[in-house]
Amino acid sequence: MERVFTGPDSPSAPEGAVTNDASGAPLAIELRGIVKRFPGIVANDDVDFDLRPGEVHALLGENGAGKSTLMNIVAGLYRPDEGEMRVDGRPVRFRSPRDAIAAGLGMIHQHFALVPSQTVTENVLLGLDRPRFLLGLAKHDDAVAELAAGLGLKVDPRAKVWQLSVGEQQRVEILKMLYRGAHVLIMDEPTAVLAPQEIEELFRTLRAMIASGRSIVFISHKLAEVLAIADRITVMRRGRVTASGIGAAGTSKGELARLMVGREVLGAVERTAFRPGPVVLSMRDVQAENDKGLPALRGVSLDVRAGEILGIAGVAGNGQSELAQVVTGLRPFHGRIEIAGEVAEHRTARDAIRRGVAHVPEDRTGVGSAPNLSIADNLIMKAYREAPIAHGWVIDVSAARRMAENLKDEYSIAAPSIDTRARLLSGGNLQRLILAREIESKPRLLVAVQPTRGLDVGAIEAVHRLLMARREAGAATILISEDLDEILGLSDRVAVIYEGLILGTFDVAEADVQKIGLLMTGGTGGLPLKVGPVLPGVPGVPGA
Amino acid sequence: MTTAVPPQGVAARGRRTLRLERRLDLPRWLPALATLGAVAFALLVSALILAAVGGDPVRSYLHIVDSAFGDIGVISDTLVKATPLILTGLACALAFRMRLWNIGAEGQFLMGAWGASAVVLFPLLPPGAPALAVIPAMILAGFAAGALWGFIPGLLKARLAVNEIIVTLMLNYVAALWIAFWVFGPWSEGGFQLTAQFPREAWLPRLTDLAAQVPAFGGLTVHLGLAFALAAAVAVWFVLRRSRWGYEIRLTGDSPSAARYAGIDIARNTIAIFMISGGLAGLAGMAEVSGVVHRLQQAISPGYGFTAIIVAYIARFNPLGVIVAAILFGALILAGREIQPAGVPGMIQGIVLFSLIASEVVLRYRIRLVRG
Amino acid sequence: MDFVTIMAAGVATGTIYLFAAVGEIFAERSGVLNLGVTGMMLMGAVGGFATVVATGDPWLGLLVGMAAGGLLSLLHAVVTIHFQADQVVSGLALTFVGTGLARVLGEGLSKAGATSLLPKVTVPVLSDVPIVGPIFLHDQSVLVYAGYLLVPAAWYWIHRTRPGLNLRAVGEYPAAADAMGVGVYPLRYLYVFIGGLLSGLAGAAITLAIQPGWFGELTVGGRGWIAIGLVIFAQWDPLRAAVGGYLFGAIDRFLLDVQGPENFFGIRNPIYYDHTLTFFLGMLPFVLVIVVLVVGSREAVRKRIGAPAALGVPYIRGERGA
């Protein structure tokens, strides 16, 4: 499923951009020989990088390649073990983020550096030298609003950050940096949380900033976007640079993929024909509140059948998390949920587990595992209540250990032993552990939320293979992901969630990225939607 | 200037620097070594402080060892002091395992003592009832009273998310006043601030009771409570290590959100653990009034409930380790009565606790010599 | 047993709670829980009292008391901020150390005779304003007036100034503060220290102004813990902490007064006739703290406010969620 980004300037470099620093203009950023080590790993291994003024330079690599670490050094959060850095031609040594900001470098992190309980203006002011003592917020509210308007960004300066959508929060981050006069912007995976249309909007904003004299580093692992927005591309793999500053015009997705991963990236996973069985999960008019007491699900209805993967597409914050929690018993709800034909009361996770619902949660380290318990203890989290692991109220330790050893081998969990603490596992291995545990419980329904977030390509492929295998075996799966490519690649049907409602459900063969993107941001554009299977009396669905 | 963590560059010698890095592995012997190191450090610091206020640290320490382990008689006395510490230490270790901060072991101890006394002093059993009836009744009453005192903070925490640290602490004060009321009031003996002595049937059997059969036991005041304590330690160990419930406790203590995800009923476990923890401390109170003091009075605890916190910590919440730590602190309490000035043992306990938690840093970080 | 007397005494005793609670509010707002308030108060109390016994200068005693509390708090700061140890246990350890150390240093002080106290002040003219005057402005220690100034100043500092903005950021979401160049560690050290100074001040206020004399641990008693409970009740707001403090101070006084009269409006006063019932009176403040906590918790759940989000969590750069 190819996605083509349309826009005035893609994919080649715009006319008039500075392409040759031999013309005398100093490089905005220059890194030479950067080395950064963490315990057990060399995150950056002799890395060179440069940013020319007025360009968009993409830093491409899979998760764990070292891109964020490198830019964190530029942003003053880490100090390099070796190597040197120049900004505008002058050597610099940043001791803290303050120094970097003072030098005109602004980084927008993947996890926004925003204090959720404070207002937009307070967040913009945080860390500035002026005002020195008295804040005088009212005056600054106006200044912030003015700056935002001037840049075409819509923000309410008095709103508290937790009330904003993810896209709005990102705008606040950009505003923060511009308020500080940043002339270099470093953006770390900015499109991970955006819908396709919002990505277009972001790219327009970025080009406007270039036009006004700034330079941008764009960190990403998404090939199509990088080719669409970047002038030059540097590719990193396992801490090393595999291609330095190559022109975007002169390369292709295939070549970039090879530079990123070191081999041909396998395309979509093999799928067999779609042979749906009986309905395993049925939701009717389900409503639920989020943690703030605001409505998160406002009447969700959907069906999932055995042997199918239903992908839920949507921008973060539209109810996906709550949907997963309601189905797995972690959140109270109103409405009707049936699992394999039986009405589920689902007051606790225990109910859901008893009914054969497995959950691969969003938060691997905080929810899906206990960091200080051993791998073995983590693996029995679902199985410890019954034989063969438990006899009455005693746990058969040797049976538990046998099970753990088997699963460790079967799912290739790389670790010194089953007694290793879970916190020491890499993201990919931890996910293998969680999947192993959930799949072993032979669930009727598997709910997988952001299962490949932050994983490297090898781990991503492993997860996809496991999900497809479950599908072959006749299990029903709900796949919730912010990565539209992943959803389109794995799902049999796709449902789009927006503001707590399912706006449309498509068979994947007929799915149109444009339409889905539009729904993800709430618009229907008058396009006729095919909603299937037919859901009786669903309120609020346009065109139903 | 922000300090980067892990803390960087402790010393630079030529081209080599000392660096602190996050640890990747945890050798099995390290926690024990860290504990020993911390205790040794604390003893050293305390010695310095003792010297600074005019005491003689070496003499004091030797005195402690001698008066606690010098001969069979004092060893027995040490064990008597250790008995309530084992039980209250278990109470704390069990609760702390689940990250429930039961600081109320002192109050639960007192309530247990009261409950046991009530059997004799109300009386709840007819006078003249045989020991075989009275002792178990006292055990039950002591455990139940302590469990009730643990139930209150447990319920408040489970249902209303009320901070259990403050509730348990407040209940300590309430329990002390409750005992004061009964001791000064209805149960006061002859207007004095203590109750009548319990009848013989209400005394836990001691080794010295068998002096007629075994002369060597003469004068040894070790009582049956020690057996309860040891049995309880083994039971708690078994439950934590081998039972389904123990698994749930360990999981909840490590990650409450993971426990919820696994379908564990955290509220129910919170209340249950708090009740058992309170019950164990209450049992300690019963053992003290029935095995040692043989009456109810105000000063039956030299701070067992607070020392128990440190005992639990030294044992790293391991029930069997609690036995060892309790004996050591029993020695400290026994000998510490004679250390002047009065606040020193409490201070030493605090320093030990600080050293212990500070020492945990070596479990997370290691020092590396880095060339560069 | 009249209202004005009780409230006036309440304001005086309440000032002790106020200082300790506001100090703890500062520390907790920066993200560090410090349960060692009792220990710091005792150090302040013994430091102040010992100084005034030795030198006769209560102002010097005040400074020494504050310094004692502040220095003790640094122990907690180092262990929890730099060593990243558990804040709950560290606070308890601080209580043990502070209490023990204070008892050691206070050896023999209980026999000291009368000492000079900090002066009391009556505001002319305004102290005649009905009700408010006699309660707040009549014959109160200078420290009480200091309390009146501290509360709005603390509020203003937290909500309307840049240092306050930094404080709140560090306690709510230190990763953001760090990324924006605000020093998380230095600020936490600072505010834990300020908490220590104020707790020391609270202790010194007891021995130098409100209840002079040294009585070992009983000098502070359970008041340190009540102050910590008040912080939760106050929802980390200095204004509410003051109200709570004065209220508890008034209750302390009321419980004393209620033992006196033979009759209440013609009804027999049971406490006068049976003094063992005073023990139940003594329980009231502690039970009240529990009630106040329950009420505060329900309110927090309802209004979805609560503790500073990062309270109790050591900050480690680079460690966020998944």
Question: How many other β-carbons are positioned within 10 Å of the β-carbon of residue A472?
Answer: 11
- In angstroms, how far is the first alpha carbon of chain B from the final one? 24
Q: Which two tokens stand for residue A247?
A: 């022109």
Q: Residue A472: in which H helix or E strand, if any?
A: helix A457-472
Q: What is the pLDDT of residue A527?
A: 40
Say if residue B143's pLDDT is above 60.
yes
Per-domain residue ranges of chain A = 1-12+24-104+183-263, 113-181, 279-520
C310 in a structural domain: no
pLDDT average, residue stretch A349-359: 93
pLDDT at C271: 74
Q: Quote the domain boundaries for residue B236.
A: 56-339
Q: Residue A19, Cβ neighbours under 10 Å: how many?
A: 14
CB nearest B251 (choices: A96, A351, A370): A370
Using the Cα atoms of residue A291, residue A293, residue A296 and residue A302 in order, give the sign of their dihedral: positive
pLDDT single digits (tens) C140-159: 999 999 999 999 999 999 99
Handedness of CA A388, A392, A395, A398 (dihedral sign): negative
C297 — pLDDT class (breaks 50, 70, 90): confident
Q: Residues of C68-96 as b/e, b for ≥16 C-beta within 10 angstroms?
A: bbbbbbebbbbbbbbbbbbbbbbbbbbbb
Sequence-ordered strand ranges (E) for chain C: 120-121, 140-141, 263-264, 267-268
Does C50 contact A at CB distance below 8 Å?
Answer: no
Residue B352 corresponds to which tokens in the numbers above?
């030990």
CA atoms of A324 and A318, how far apart (whole Å): 12
pTM of the model: 0.87
SS3 A29: strand
CB A309: neighbour CB atoms within 10 A?
25
Query: How does pLDDT run across A51-73, given as a tens digit for each residue?
Result: 999 999 999 988 888 899 999 99
Cα separation, A235 vs A217, in Å, equals 13
Q: What confidence score (pLDDT) does residue C77 get?
A: 96
Does A293 contact chain C (CB < 8 Å)?
yes
pLDDT of residue B146: 97
Inter-chain CB proximity A397 and B242 less than 8 Å: yes
**For residue B4, what pLDDT is reported?**
34
Number of domains within chain B: 1
At A35 the pLDDT is 94
Question: Tell me, what's the pLDDT at B18?
Answer: 67
Cβ pair A115:C304 closer than 8 A: no
% of chain A residues with pLDDT over 70: 90
The listed CATH number (3.40.50.970, 3.40.50.300, 3.40.190.10, 3.20.20.70) that belongs to domain A279-520: 3.40.50.300
Distances (CA, A) of A131 to A136, A137, C163: 8, 10, 11
Q: Which chains touch B (3 or more CB pairs under 8 A)?
A: A, C
Residues 13 through 52 of chain B touching chain A, CB cutoff 8 Å: 21-26
Domain count across chain C: 1
Angle at A365 between CA A363 and CA A371, to 5 degrees: 155
Distance from CA of B365 to the nearest CA of A (A): 10
- Contact status, residue A339 vs residue A284, Cβ threshold 8 Å: no
Are B244 and A361 an interchain contact pair (Cβ–Cβ within 8 Å)? no
CB-based contacts of B355: which residues, under 8 Å, 6+ apart?
B38, B39, B41, B42, B45
Kindly state the average pLDDT of the residues A369-376: 94
Report, as an integer, the average pLDDT of B64-85: 86
Angle at C54 between CA C52 and CA C59, to 5 degrees: 30
Closest CA to A457 of A147, A238, A150, A216: A238
Choose the closest CB to C180 out of A127, A362, A364.
A127
Distance from CA of B111 to the nearest CA of A (A): 31
pLDDT per residue as tens digits for the range A382-398: 999 988 888 888 999 99
Would you call B263 and A349 a contact, using CB atoms and an 8 Å cutoff? Answer: yes
The values of phi and psi at residue C30, to 5°, are -85, 0
- The minimum CA-CA distance between A330 and chain B, rounded to whole Å, is 7
pLDDT at A528 over 60: no
The per-residue pLDDT for range A516-525, each reduced to its tens digit, is 888 887 765 4
Nearest alpha carbon to residue A540 among A287, A257, A218, A203: A287
Q: What is the mean pLDDT of residues A463-489?
A: 91
Q: Is B262 on the interface with A (CB under 8 A)?
A: yes
What's the mean pLDDT in B263-286? 96
Name the average pLDDT for chain C: 89
Structural tokens at position B270 = 């919170």
Question: What's the pLDDT score for residue A23?
Answer: 54
How many cross-chain Cβ pairs, A to C, lie less than 8 Å apart? 88
Residue C215 tokens read as 């009585």
> Is B345 domain-assigned?
no
CB-CB neighbors (< 8 A) of C104 in chain B: 49, 53, 341-344, 347
Of B359 and B90, the structure prediction assigns the larger pLDDT to: B90
CB contact under 8 A, A365 and C321: yes
Q: What is the domain-level CATH number for residue C206?
A: 1.10.3470
Q: What is the pLDDT of residue B16?
A: 63
pLDDT, mean over chain A? 85
B260 touches chain A (CB under 8 A): yes
pLDDT at B15: 56
Residue B333 lies in a domain: yes
Which residue range is the domain that position C176 belongs to? Answer: 3-303
Contact B24 A40 (CB under 8 A): yes
Any CB–CB contact under 8 A between C302 and chain A? no
Lowest mean pLDDT among A265-279, A353-367, C230-244: A265-279
Mean pLDDT over A77-87 rounds to 92
Rounded percentage of chain B residues whose pLDDT exceeds 70: 93
Residue A264 pLDDT grade (very low, low, confident, very high; cuts 50, 70, 90): low
Contact B274, B98 (CB under 8 A): no
CB within 8 Å: A329 and B263: yes
pLDDT at A509: 85
Residue B257 lies in a domain: yes
Nearest CA in chain C to A118: C169
Write the DSSP string, C105-135: HTTTGGG--------EE--TTGGGSTTHHHH
Element (H, E) at C230: helix C223-233
| C64 domain residue, yes or no | yes
Question: Given a cut of 80, is residue B185 above it in pLDDT?
Answer: yes
Per residue in C309-318, pLDDT (tens digit) is 889 888 887 6
Model confidence at B2, pLDDT cuts 50, 70, 90, reads very low
Q: CA nearest C244: which of C11, C29, C4?
A: C11
Q: In whole angstroms, give the CA distance from residue C119 to residue C201.
A: 16
* Residue A259 pLDDT level (bands cut at 50, 70, 90): confident
Q: Is the predicted pLDDT of residue B343 greater than 80, yes or no?
A: no
- The CATH code of the domain that includes B302 is 1.10.3470
Beta strands per DSSP E along A39-179: 41-51, 56-60, 82-87, 90-92, 105-108
Per-residue model confidence (pLDDT) at position B5 = 37
- Closest to A382 measured CA to CA, from A426, A440, A332, A324: A440
Question: pLDDT value at position A276?
Answer: 83
Query: How far is the CA of B285 from the CAs of A226, B130, B145, B196, in angstroms?
Result: 71, 21, 10, 17
Q: How many other C-beta atoms can be found within 10 angstroms of the C-beta atom of residue C118?
A: 22
Residue to mutate among A37, A395, A396, A433, with most B CBs inside 10 A, is A395
**Cβ separation B21–A39 shorter than 8 A:** yes
Q: Identify from B1, B166, B172, B307 which residue to disrupt to test chain C contact, counting C C-beta atoms within 10 A and taking the largest count.
A: B166
CATH of A1-12+24-104+183-263, one of 3.40.50.720, 3.30.590.20, 2.60.40.1180, 3.40.50.300: 3.40.50.300
Domain presence at residue B77: yes
Residue A529 has pLDDT above 50, yes or no: no
Q: Is A123 on the interface with C (CB under 8 A)?
A: yes
Measure C129 CA to nearest chain B CA, in Å.
38
Question: Which run of H or E residues covers position B344?
Answer: helix B344-359
Q: What is the pLDDT of residues C38-81, one digit of tens each?
A: 999 999 999 999 999 999 899 999 999 999 999 999 999 999 99
Q: Is the residue at C197 inside a domain?
A: yes
pLDDT at A273: 77
Set of chain A residues whose Cβ sits within 8 Å of the Cβ of B251: 370, 373, 377, 381
Residue A149 or residue B24, greater confidence: A149
Suggest the residue from B255, B363, B371 to mutate for an interface test with chain A (most A CBs closer than 10 A). B255
pLDDT for residue A539? 37
Average model confidence (pLDDT) for chain B? Answer: 87
Q: Is the pLDDT of residue A216 over 60?
A: yes
Checking if the pLDDT of A540 tops 60, the result is: no
Contacts of B347 in chain C (CB under 8 A): 96-97, 99-101, 103-104
- What is the spatial distance between Cα B363 and Cα B369, in angstroms, rounded to a whole number? 18
Identify which has the larger pLDDT, A137 or A358: A358
Q: What is the pLDDT of residue B6?
A: 38
Q: Do B170 and C228 touch (CB under 8 A)?
A: no
**A364 and C322 in contact by Cβ < 8 A?**
yes
CB pairs under 8 A between A and B: 89
Candidates B166, B351, B361; nearest CB to C289: B166
Q: Do domains A1-12+24-104+183-263 and A279-520 have the same CATH topology?
A: yes
Kindly tell me the burial class for residue C229, based on how many C-beta atoms sit within 10 Å of its own C-beta (0-12, 13-18, 19 or more).
Answer: buried
Say which range, A325-334, A527-536, C25-34, has the weakest mean pLDDT.
A527-536
Q: Is the pLDDT of residue B254 over 70?
A: yes
Tell me the average pLDDT across A3-16: 38
How much is the pLDDT for A4? 39
B24 Cα to chain A: minimum distance (Å): 7
Residue written as token pair 């402790």: B10
Q: Which residues of A touch C179 (CB under 8 A)?
A: 75, 77, 97, 107, 109, 113
Chain B interface, mutation test: which of C271, C286, C301, C313, most B Cβ atoms within 10 Å? C286
Give the per-residue pLDDT at C205.
95
Query: In chain B, which residues have their Cβ closer than 8 Å to the Cβ of A371?
Result: 254-255
CB contact under 8 A, A393 and B21: no
Tell me the chain A residues in contact with residue C235 when contact means C-beta distances shorter than 8 Å.
none
From C170, which residue of chain A is nearest by alpha-carbon distance?
A: A115
More confidently predicted of B87 and C268: B87
| pLDDT average, residue stretch C164-174 | 95
* pLDDT 10s digits, A162-212: 888 888 899 899 999 988 889 999 999 998 878 888 888 889 889 988 988
B103/C185 CB distance under 8 A: no
Q: Say if residue A15's pLDDT is above 70.
A: no
pLDDT at res. C105: 87
| Mutant choice from C80, C104, C110, C319 vs B, greatest count of B C-beta within 10 A | C104
B191 lies within 8 A of chain A by CB: no
